[in-house]
Protein backbone atom coordinates (compact mmCIF):
# COMPACT_ATOMS: atom_id res chain seq x y z
CA UNK A 1 0.00 0.00 0.00
CA UNK A 2 2.83 2.33 0.95
CA UNK A 3 4.60 1.66 -2.35
CA UNK A 4 1.41 2.30 -4.35
CA UNK A 5 0.77 5.55 -2.51
CA UNK A 6 4.35 6.63 -3.07
CA UNK A 7 4.09 5.87 -6.77
CA UNK A 8 0.87 7.87 -7.10
CA UNK A 9 2.39 10.79 -5.22
CA UNK A 10 5.46 10.84 -7.46
CA UNK A 11 3.27 10.62 -10.57
CA UNK A 12 1.14 13.50 -9.37
CA UNK A 13 4.18 15.63 -8.58
CA UNK A 14 5.62 14.83 -12.03
CA UNK A 15 2.42 15.92 -13.74
CA UNK A 16 2.41 19.16 -11.82
CA UNK A 17 6.08 19.71 -12.66
CA UNK A 18 5.64 19.06 -16.39
CA UNK A 19 2.49 21.20 -16.45
CA UNK A 20 4.43 24.04 -14.83
CA UNK A 21 7.27 23.59 -17.31
CA UNK A 22 4.82 23.76 -20.19
CA UNK A 23 3.17 26.85 -18.73
CA UNK A 24 6.50 28.66 -18.39
CA UNK A 25 7.59 27.61 -21.86
CA UNK A 26 4.34 28.90 -23.37
CA UNK A 27 4.63 32.17 -21.48
CA UNK A 28 8.15 32.83 -22.73
CA UNK A 29 7.12 31.80 -26.21
CA UNK A 30 4.22 34.28 -26.19
CA UNK A 31 6.59 37.01 -25.11
CA UNK A 32 8.93 36.09 -27.95
CA UNK A 33 6.13 36.19 -30.52
CA UNK A 34 5.04 39.63 -29.31
CA UNK A 35 8.62 40.92 -29.41
CA UNK A 36 9.16 39.56 -32.92
CA UNK A 37 5.96 41.17 -34.16
CA UNK A 38 7.10 44.50 -32.69
CA UNK A 39 10.46 44.28 -34.42
CA UNK A 40 12.31 43.57 -31.20
CA UNK A 41 14.26 40.62 -32.53
CA UNK A 42 16.91 40.65 -29.78
CA UNK A 43 14.26 40.27 -27.09
CA UNK A 44 12.53 37.64 -29.20
CA UNK A 45 15.71 35.54 -29.36
CA UNK A 46 16.12 35.67 -25.58
CA UNK A 47 12.48 34.79 -25.00
CA UNK A 48 12.53 31.84 -27.39
CA UNK A 49 15.72 30.51 -25.82
CA UNK A 50 14.06 30.74 -22.42
CA UNK A 51 11.04 28.89 -23.77
CA UNK A 52 13.29 26.11 -25.04
CA UNK A 53 14.86 25.70 -21.60
CA UNK A 54 11.45 24.70 -20.32
CA UNK A 55 10.47 22.70 -23.38
CA UNK A 56 13.60 21.39 -25.16
CA UNK A 57 13.22 20.22 -28.78
CA UNK A 58 9.86 21.95 -29.15
CA UNK A 59 9.58 22.31 -32.93
CA UNK A 60 7.53 25.51 -32.88
CA UNK A 61 9.85 27.20 -30.39
CA UNK A 62 12.97 26.28 -32.37
CA UNK A 63 11.42 27.45 -35.62
CA UNK A 64 10.48 30.79 -34.09
CA UNK A 65 14.00 31.15 -32.68
CA UNK A 66 15.42 30.52 -36.15
CA UNK A 67 13.13 33.19 -37.60
CA UNK A 68 14.22 35.70 -34.95
CA UNK A 69 17.88 34.92 -35.63
CA UNK A 70 17.30 35.38 -39.36
CA UNK A 71 15.66 38.74 -38.67
CA UNK A 72 18.89 39.77 -36.90
CA UNK A 73 20.94 38.58 -39.91
CA UNK A 74 22.50 35.90 -37.73
CA UNK A 75 22.17 33.67 -40.74
CA UNK A 76 24.56 30.90 -39.79
CA UNK A 77 22.81 30.27 -36.47
CA UNK A 78 19.39 30.38 -38.10
CA UNK A 79 20.59 28.05 -40.85
CA UNK A 80 21.82 25.46 -38.35
CA UNK A 81 18.48 25.40 -36.55
CA UNK A 82 16.52 25.24 -39.79
CA UNK A 83 18.49 22.34 -41.24
CA UNK A 84 17.92 20.39 -38.02
CA UNK A 85 14.20 21.19 -38.18
CA UNK A 86 14.04 20.24 -41.85
CA UNK A 87 15.52 16.82 -41.11
CA UNK A 88 12.80 16.28 -38.53
CA UNK A 89 9.95 17.55 -40.75
CA UNK A 90 11.07 17.96 -44.39
CA UNK A 91 7.52 18.75 -45.49
CA UNK A 92 7.08 21.72 -43.13
CA UNK A 93 6.19 24.76 -45.22
CA UNK A 94 7.56 27.45 -42.91
CA UNK A 95 10.91 25.70 -42.49
CA UNK A 96 11.32 25.31 -46.23
CA UNK A 97 10.35 28.93 -46.82
CA UNK A 98 12.89 30.19 -44.29
CA UNK A 99 15.61 28.04 -45.85
CA UNK A 100 14.65 29.37 -49.27
CA UNK A 101 15.01 32.92 -48.00
CA UNK A 102 18.44 32.23 -46.52
CA UNK A 103 19.78 30.67 -49.71
CA UNK A 104 18.22 33.46 -51.79
CA UNK A 105 20.00 36.05 -49.64
CA UNK A 106 23.25 34.19 -50.31
CA UNK A 107 22.53 34.06 -54.03
CA UNK A 108 22.64 30.25 -54.10
CA UNK A 109 20.24 29.66 -56.97
CA UNK A 110 19.84 25.87 -56.92
CA UNK A 111 19.26 25.60 -53.17
CA UNK A 112 16.96 28.61 -53.11
CA UNK A 113 14.87 27.06 -55.89
CA UNK A 114 14.78 23.73 -54.08
CA UNK A 115 13.47 25.06 -50.79
CA UNK A 116 11.12 27.65 -52.28
CA UNK A 117 9.55 24.91 -54.39
CA UNK A 118 9.32 22.72 -51.30
CA UNK A 119 7.46 25.55 -49.58
CA UNK A 120 5.14 26.03 -52.56
CA UNK A 121 4.13 22.38 -52.54
CA UNK A 122 4.29 21.86 -48.77
CA UNK A 123 1.41 20.70 -46.59
CA UNK A 124 0.52 23.96 -44.87
CA UNK A 125 -1.79 23.52 -41.86
CA UNK A 126 -3.86 26.63 -42.59
CA UNK A 127 -4.50 28.95 -45.57
CA UNK A 128 -2.35 26.81 -47.87
CA UNK A 129 -3.10 28.81 -51.02
CA UNK A 130 -2.07 32.08 -49.41
CA UNK A 131 1.17 30.60 -48.01
CA UNK A 132 2.07 29.02 -51.35
CA UNK A 133 1.38 32.29 -53.13
CA UNK A 134 3.71 34.16 -50.74
CA UNK A 135 6.44 31.61 -51.37
CA UNK A 136 6.05 31.83 -55.16
CA UNK A 137 5.99 35.64 -55.13
CA UNK A 138 9.21 35.71 -53.12
CA UNK A 139 10.77 33.20 -55.50
CA UNK A 140 9.78 35.35 -58.48
CA UNK A 141 11.36 38.44 -56.94
CA UNK A 142 14.54 36.47 -56.24
CA UNK A 143 14.68 35.21 -59.84
CA UNK A 144 14.16 38.73 -61.16
CA UNK A 145 17.01 40.02 -58.99
CA UNK A 146 19.22 37.26 -60.37
CA UNK A 147 18.11 38.10 -63.92
CA UNK A 148 16.79 34.56 -64.38
CA UNK A 149 14.11 35.86 -66.72
CA UNK A 150 12.93 32.57 -68.24
CA UNK A 151 12.51 30.91 -64.85
CA UNK A 152 10.76 33.98 -63.43
CA UNK A 153 8.36 33.97 -66.37
CA UNK A 154 7.51 30.30 -65.79
CA UNK A 155 6.81 30.95 -62.12
CA UNK A 156 4.68 33.97 -63.01
CA UNK A 157 2.55 31.93 -65.40
CA UNK A 158 1.98 29.36 -62.65
CA UNK A 159 1.14 32.14 -60.20
CA UNK A 160 -1.31 33.84 -62.55
CA UNK A 161 -3.18 30.58 -63.14
CA UNK A 162 -4.17 30.38 -59.47
CA UNK A 163 -4.79 33.96 -58.41
CA UNK A 164 -7.95 34.77 -56.43
CA UNK A 165 -10.29 37.60 -57.35
CA UNK A 166 -8.02 40.25 -55.86
CA UNK A 167 -7.13 43.37 -57.84
CA UNK A 168 -3.83 44.18 -56.05
CA UNK A 169 -2.58 40.62 -56.62
CA UNK A 170 -3.40 40.78 -60.33
CA UNK A 171 -1.69 44.18 -60.47
CA UNK A 172 1.43 42.79 -58.79
CA UNK A 173 1.54 39.87 -61.21
CA UNK A 174 1.09 42.23 -64.15
CA UNK A 175 3.95 44.46 -63.02
CA UNK A 176 6.20 41.41 -62.72
CA UNK A 177 5.23 40.24 -66.22
CA UNK A 178 6.27 43.69 -67.46
CA UNK A 179 9.69 43.16 -65.86
CA UNK A 180 10.24 40.01 -67.91
CA UNK A 181 8.83 41.77 -71.00
CA UNK A 182 5.94 39.32 -71.29
CA UNK A 183 3.53 42.02 -72.37
CA UNK A 184 0.72 39.68 -73.44
CA UNK A 185 0.38 38.12 -69.99
CA UNK A 186 0.93 41.53 -68.38
CA UNK A 187 -1.98 43.03 -70.32
CA UNK A 188 -4.24 40.12 -69.35
CA UNK A 189 -3.40 40.62 -65.67
CA UNK A 190 -3.92 44.39 -65.85
CA UNK A 191 -7.33 43.73 -67.40
CA UNK A 192 -8.20 41.35 -64.57
CA UNK A 193 -7.15 44.02 -62.06
CA UNK A 194 -9.34 46.58 -63.84
CA UNK A 195 -12.27 44.19 -63.97
CA UNK A 196 -12.17 44.15 -60.18
CA UNK A 197 -11.25 47.84 -59.74
CA UNK A 198 -12.15 49.82 -62.85
CA UNK A 199 -10.63 53.11 -61.70
CA UNK A 200 -7.27 51.78 -60.56
CA UNK A 201 -4.83 54.35 -61.98
CA UNK A 202 -1.81 52.04 -61.76
CA UNK A 203 -3.64 49.27 -63.63
CA UNK A 204 -4.81 51.70 -66.31
CA UNK A 205 -1.30 53.04 -66.82
CA UNK A 206 0.14 49.52 -66.85
CA UNK A 207 -2.44 48.29 -69.35
CA UNK A 208 -1.61 51.28 -71.56
CA UNK A 209 2.12 50.53 -71.42
CA UNK A 210 1.59 46.82 -72.14
CA UNK A 211 -0.73 47.53 -75.08
CA UNK A 212 1.78 50.11 -76.37
CA UNK A 213 4.63 47.55 -76.27
CA UNK A 214 2.41 45.08 -78.15
CA UNK A 215 1.76 47.66 -80.87
CA UNK A 216 -1.95 47.82 -80.04
CA UNK A 217 -2.09 51.58 -80.17
CA UNK A 218 -5.88 51.90 -80.20
CA UNK A 219 -6.10 50.04 -76.88
CA UNK A 220 -3.05 51.84 -75.55
CA UNK A 221 -4.62 55.20 -76.33
CA UNK A 222 -7.84 54.32 -74.51
CA UNK A 223 -6.11 53.05 -71.37
CA UNK A 224 -3.60 55.90 -71.30
CA UNK A 225 -6.30 58.54 -71.74
CA UNK A 226 -8.06 57.19 -68.65
CA UNK A 227 -4.78 56.92 -66.75
CA UNK A 228 -3.82 60.53 -67.48
CA UNK A 229 -7.33 61.75 -66.69
CA UNK A 230 -7.10 60.05 -63.31
CA UNK A 231 -3.51 61.12 -62.66
CA UNK A 232 -2.38 64.15 -64.70
CA UNK A 233 1.05 64.00 -62.99
CA UNK A 234 1.82 60.65 -64.62
CA UNK A 235 4.50 61.89 -67.03
CA UNK A 236 5.28 58.47 -68.49
CA UNK A 237 1.66 57.80 -69.43
CA UNK A 238 1.37 61.31 -70.87
CA UNK A 239 4.39 60.77 -73.12
CA UNK A 240 3.20 57.35 -74.24
CA UNK A 241 -0.27 58.73 -74.94
CA UNK A 242 1.17 61.45 -77.17
CA UNK A 243 3.25 58.91 -79.09
CA UNK A 244 0.38 56.42 -79.45
CA UNK A 245 -1.90 59.20 -80.70
CA UNK A 246 0.72 60.31 -83.22
CA UNK A 247 1.15 56.74 -84.48
CA UNK A 248 -2.59 56.49 -85.07
CA UNK A 249 -2.60 59.85 -86.84
CA UNK A 250 0.37 59.06 -89.12
CA UNK A 251 -0.06 55.38 -90.00
CA UNK A 252 -1.26 55.23 -93.63
CA UNK A 253 -1.96 51.51 -93.47
CA UNK A 254 -4.84 51.64 -90.99
CA UNK A 255 -7.92 49.98 -92.45
CA UNK A 256 -10.37 52.78 -91.73
CA UNK A 257 -8.24 55.40 -93.50
CA UNK A 258 -9.66 56.68 -96.81
CA UNK A 259 -7.54 56.77 -99.98
CA UNK A 260 -7.26 60.55 -99.84
CA UNK A 261 -6.19 60.48 -96.19
CA UNK A 262 -3.74 57.66 -96.90
CA UNK A 263 -2.10 59.72 -99.62
CA UNK A 264 -1.87 62.74 -97.33
CA UNK A 265 -0.20 60.64 -94.62
CA UNK A 266 2.28 59.11 -97.06
CA UNK A 267 3.30 62.53 -98.36
CA UNK A 268 3.70 63.88 -94.82
CA UNK A 269 5.76 60.89 -93.73
CA UNK A 270 7.92 61.08 -96.86
CA UNK A 271 8.69 64.76 -96.33
CA UNK A 272 9.40 64.24 -92.64
CA UNK A 273 11.84 61.40 -93.40
CA UNK A 274 13.54 63.63 -95.98
CA UNK A 275 14.03 66.34 -93.37
CA UNK A 276 15.43 63.76 -90.96
CA UNK A 277 17.94 62.55 -93.55
CA UNK A 278 18.95 66.09 -94.53
CA UNK A 279 19.46 67.14 -90.91
CA UNK A 280 21.50 64.02 -90.28
CA UNK A 281 23.77 64.75 -93.22
CA UNK A 282 24.20 68.40 -92.29
CA UNK A 283 24.89 67.95 -88.59
CA UNK A 284 27.04 64.82 -88.84
CA UNK A 285 29.68 63.54 -91.16
CA UNK A 286 28.47 60.40 -92.90
CA UNK A 287 31.24 58.35 -91.35
CA UNK A 288 29.76 59.05 -87.90
CA UNK A 289 26.53 57.32 -88.85
CA UNK A 290 25.88 53.70 -88.09
CA UNK A 291 25.66 52.98 -91.82
CA UNK A 292 28.45 53.27 -94.37
CA UNK A 293 28.90 56.33 -96.59
CA UNK A 294 27.56 54.34 -99.50
CA UNK A 295 24.38 53.39 -97.62
CA UNK A 296 23.71 57.03 -96.75
CA UNK A 297 24.22 58.11 -100.34
CA UNK A 298 21.87 55.37 -101.52
CA UNK A 299 19.18 56.53 -99.09
CA UNK A 300 19.54 60.10 -100.25
CA UNK A 301 19.55 59.13 -103.93
CA UNK A 302 16.50 56.93 -103.50
CA UNK A 303 14.57 59.63 -101.69
CA UNK A 304 15.51 62.29 -104.27
CA UNK A 305 14.49 60.00 -107.14
CA UNK A 306 11.08 59.32 -105.59
CA UNK A 307 10.30 62.85 -104.49
CA UNK A 308 8.84 64.17 -107.80
CA UNK A 309 6.36 61.28 -107.86
CA UNK A 310 5.23 61.42 -104.23
CA UNK A 311 2.23 63.69 -104.61
CA UNK A 312 -1.52 63.23 -104.41
CA UNK A 313 -1.70 63.01 -108.19
CA UNK A 314 1.24 60.61 -108.39
CA UNK A 315 -0.17 58.31 -105.73
CA UNK A 316 -3.59 58.26 -107.38
CA UNK A 317 -2.01 57.40 -110.70
CA UNK A 318 0.19 54.67 -109.24
CA UNK A 319 -1.13 53.18 -105.94
CA UNK A 320 1.98 50.98 -105.68
CA UNK A 321 3.96 54.12 -104.85
CA UNK A 322 2.38 54.08 -101.38
CA UNK A 323 4.42 51.00 -100.42
CA UNK A 324 7.50 52.25 -102.25
CA UNK A 325 7.42 55.63 -100.50
CA UNK A 326 6.85 54.13 -97.08
CA UNK A 327 9.65 51.59 -97.61
CA UNK A 328 11.94 54.55 -98.18
CA UNK A 329 10.59 56.32 -95.09
CA UNK A 330 11.10 53.24 -92.93
CA UNK A 331 14.62 52.68 -94.24
CA UNK A 332 15.62 56.27 -93.45
CA UNK A 333 14.14 56.16 -89.95
CA UNK A 334 15.81 52.84 -89.14
CA UNK A 335 19.21 53.84 -90.49
CA UNK A 336 19.29 57.20 -88.72
CA UNK A 337 17.88 55.95 -85.43
CA UNK A 338 20.48 56.21 -82.70
CA UNK A 339 23.19 57.59 -84.99
CA UNK A 340 22.04 61.17 -85.60
CA UNK A 341 20.51 63.91 -83.51
CA UNK A 342 17.59 63.02 -81.26
CA UNK A 343 14.58 62.08 -83.39
CA UNK A 344 11.48 64.23 -83.36
CA UNK A 345 8.17 62.89 -82.07
CA UNK A 346 7.17 62.26 -85.67
CA UNK A 347 10.36 60.31 -86.33
CA UNK A 348 9.70 58.16 -83.26
CA UNK A 349 6.14 57.50 -84.41
CA UNK A 350 7.29 56.57 -87.92
CA UNK A 351 9.84 54.15 -86.49
CA UNK A 352 7.08 52.46 -84.45
CA UNK A 353 4.89 52.29 -87.56
CA UNK A 354 7.81 50.64 -89.35
CA UNK A 355 8.01 47.97 -86.65
CA UNK A 356 4.25 47.58 -86.67
CA UNK A 357 4.27 46.70 -90.38
CA UNK A 358 7.18 44.31 -90.43
CA UNK A 359 10.20 46.56 -90.12
CA UNK A 360 13.18 45.77 -87.90
Q: What is the pLDDT of residue 36?
A: 79
pTM of the full structure: 0.83
Q: What is the pLDDT of residue 38?
A: 85
The band of 265, judged by pLDDT with boundaries at 50, 70 and 90, is very high
Q: Which residue has the higher pLDDT, 23 or 140?
A: 140
Q: What is the pLDDT of residue 337?
A: 84
Q: What is the pLDDT of residue 294?
A: 67
Q: Which residue has the higher pLDDT, 37 or 9?
A: 37
The band of 328, judged by pLDDT with boundaries at 50, 70 and 90, is very high
Distance of CA 111 to the CA centre of its chain: 23
Where b means 16+ CB within 10 Å and e means fewer, 88-126 reads eeeebbbbbbbbbbbbbeeeeeeebbebbbbbbebebee
With 60 as the cut, is the pLDDT of residue 18 above it? no
The band of 1, judged by pLDDT with boundaries at 50, 70 and 90, is low
255 class by beta-carbon count within 10 Å (0-12 exposed, 13-18 middle, 19+ buried): exposed
The band of 50, judged by pLDDT with boundaries at 50, 70 and 90, is confident
Average pLDDT rounded to a whole number, residues 45-64: 86
Q: What is the pLDDT of residue 291?
A: 45
Provide the 10 A C-beta neighbour count for residue 135: 25
Q: Give the separation between CA 258 and CA 145, rounded to whole angstroms.
A: 49
Q: What is the pLDDT of residue 286?
A: 45
With 80 as the cut, is the pLDDT of residue 282 above it? no
Structural contact between residues 244 and 212, judged by C-beta atoms closer than 8 angstroms: yes
Average pLDDT rounded to a whole number, residues 345-354: 95
Provide the 10 A C-beta neighbour count for residue 18: 12
Q: Give the separation between CA 320 and CA 322, rounded to whole angstroms.
A: 5
- With a pLDDT cut of 70, the percent of the chain lying above it is 89
Amino acid sequence: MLAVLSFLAVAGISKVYFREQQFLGDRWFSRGVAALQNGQSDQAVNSFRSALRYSPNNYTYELSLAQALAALNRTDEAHAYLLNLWEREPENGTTNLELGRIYAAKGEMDLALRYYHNAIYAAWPDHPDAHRRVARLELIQFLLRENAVTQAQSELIALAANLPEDSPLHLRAADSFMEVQDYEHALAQYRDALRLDRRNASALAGAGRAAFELGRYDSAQRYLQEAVAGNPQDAQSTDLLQTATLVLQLDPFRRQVSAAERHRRVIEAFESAGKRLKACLVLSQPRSLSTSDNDVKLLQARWSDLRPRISDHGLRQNPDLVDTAMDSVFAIERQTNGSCAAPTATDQALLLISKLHGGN
